[in-house]
Amino acid sequence: MNRIDETGISRAIIAAYHEKLTDRIAGDVIIVGAGPAGMTAAYYLAGEGLKVTLLEKRLSPGGGVWGGGMAMNEAVVQEDALELLEEMDVRYNSCLGGLYTVDAIELAAALCLKALKAGAVILNLVTAEDVCLHGGRVTGVVANRSMIAGALPVDPITFSAGAVVDATGHDAVVVETLRRRGLIKSLAEGRPVCEGPMDAASGEAFVIERAGEAFPGLWVSGMSVCATFGGPRMGPIFGGMLLSGKRVAGLIAAALSGK
Ligand code: 48F
């Protein structure tokens, strides 16, 4: 057996990571946030043959899935999302009222693996701080190492793409970079421009129906939809997040192919 060489281990990591990073500096779609909406969108977009990169600020992809509701690691999905669970090889149990439960760990792990196997790349510990804007269109994301972002005076780098997705959840961080400069004004049609109080049924419908392009080049999916357009929150039911990710993927694929 060959002797294991510590220098070789470090060289292997550095070479492989830098090859991956260099390859991902430009692509078709950058998705910010590897939660349920972002990973579902990544799975479907990568399945269309698009070059998809997810930027995730935390160590672990999965967003709000892991903790289920109040740290009880079961997530609820509605009937409409069962087909998608089957596509993702996630097992589910039936309960009352047309609702189903899934093991939250299985759901998070399956979404992550499916997105990767479809060809998406996840860069974790990378925080999106801003967008690139050219001719009134979002053309990329400005990002830094999560340990550096906001903590040290170190400049970020950029990731360019034909479409950027804000899938950062309740804070809609990417949309916010435009809103705080007055570039996105009222997207909430008279309602307060923030997520509304909980209404599970309305929130689930809203997050699917309103997933789409919020600004030229910038799309929203998952809870970012509610934060951007003023829709209600819905708590630990996840079917809407998955279906919102699938919907935005279809819209982006059509837009990028000029359909
Ligand atoms: O929060 P998150 O799970 O958003 P989602 O996909 O799903 C929402 C549900 O989890 C739940 C709910 C409905 O059931 O109310 O909350 O819409 O995932 C968002 C991901 O984005 C990452 C964050 O760490 C999380 O994994 N994120 C947030 N800000 C940034 C970011 C950022 N600036 N850069 C990169 N990643």
pTM over 0.95: yes
Report CA(37)–ligand 1 centroid distance (Å): 8
Report CA(3)–ligand 1 centroid distance (Å): 43
CATH topology (fold) of 27-257: FAD/NAD(P)-binding domain (3.50.50)
Residue 232 main-chain phi, psi, to 5 deg: -75, 155
Output the pLDDT for position 259.
67
**Percent of the chain whose predicted confidence (pLDDT) is above 70:** 97
**Percent of the chain whose predicted confidence (pLDDT) is above 90:** 91
Report CA(56)–ligand 1 centroid distance (Å): 9
Residue with tokens 């209404």: 199
Q: Are 175 and 40 in contact (CB under 8 A)?
A: no
User: Is 222 exposed, middle or buried (CB count within 10 Å of its CB: 0-12, 13-18, 19+)?
Assistant: buried
Alpha-helical (H) ranges within 96-232 are 104-118, 173-179, 200-209, 223-229
Output the pLDDT for position 187.
65
CA 16 to CA 179: how far, in whole Å?
37
Residue 4 has pLDDT above 80, yes or no: yes
How many CB atoms lie under 10 A from the CB of residue 251?
Answer: 17
Return the ligand 1 atom nearest residue 170 CA.
Answer: 1
Residue 244 has pLDDT above 70, yes or no: yes
Amino acid at 145: R
Report CA(173)–ligand 1 centroid distance (Å): 10
Residue 191 has pLDDT above 70, yes or no: no
Return the ligand 1 atom nearest residue 38 CA.
Answer: 6
Output the pLDDT for position 96.
83
CA 148 to CA 76: how far, in whole Å?
36
Query: Sign of the C-alpha dihedral, residues 62, 67, 68, 70?
Result: negative
Confidence tier at 184 by pLDDT (50, 70, 90)? confident
Instruction: Quote the DSSP letter at residue 72.
Output: B
Output the pLDDT for position 121.
98
Q: Among 195-199, 204-208, 247-251, which is the least confidently predicted range?
A: 195-199
Q: Are 43 and 118 in contact (CB under 8 A)?
A: yes
Q: What is the residue with the minimal CA distance to atom 20 of ligand 1?
A: 33
Report CA(165)–ligand 1 centroid distance (Å): 12
Residue 219 has pLDDT above 80, yes or no: yes
**Ligand 1: residues within 6 Å at CB?**
32-38, 55-58, 63-65, 127-128, 167-169, 173, 222-223, 233-234, 236-238, 241
pLDDT, tens digit (0-9, with 9 covering 90-100), for 17-49: 999 999 999 999 999 999 999 999 999 999 999
CA 9 to CA 31: how far, in whole Å?
30
Return the ligand 1 atom nearest residue 58 CA.
Answer: 24
Residue 75 has pLDDT above 90, yes or no: yes
Output the pLDDT for position 192.
61
CA angle 28, 139, 162 (to 5 degrees): 25
Q: Name the 3-class secondary structure at 68.
A: strand
Report CA(150)–ligand 1 centroid distance (Å): 19
How many CB atoms lie under 10 A from the CB of residue 158?
Answer: 15
Confidence tier at 185 by pLDDT (50, 70, 90)? confident
Confidence tier at 2 by pLDDT (50, 70, 90)? confident
Domain boundaries, the chain: 27-257
Q: What is the residue with the minimal CA distance to atom 1 of ligand 1?
A: 169
Q: What is the residue with the minimal CA distance to atom 29 of ligand 1?
A: 168
Residue 99 has pLDDT above 80, yes or no: yes
Output the pLDDT for position 150.
92
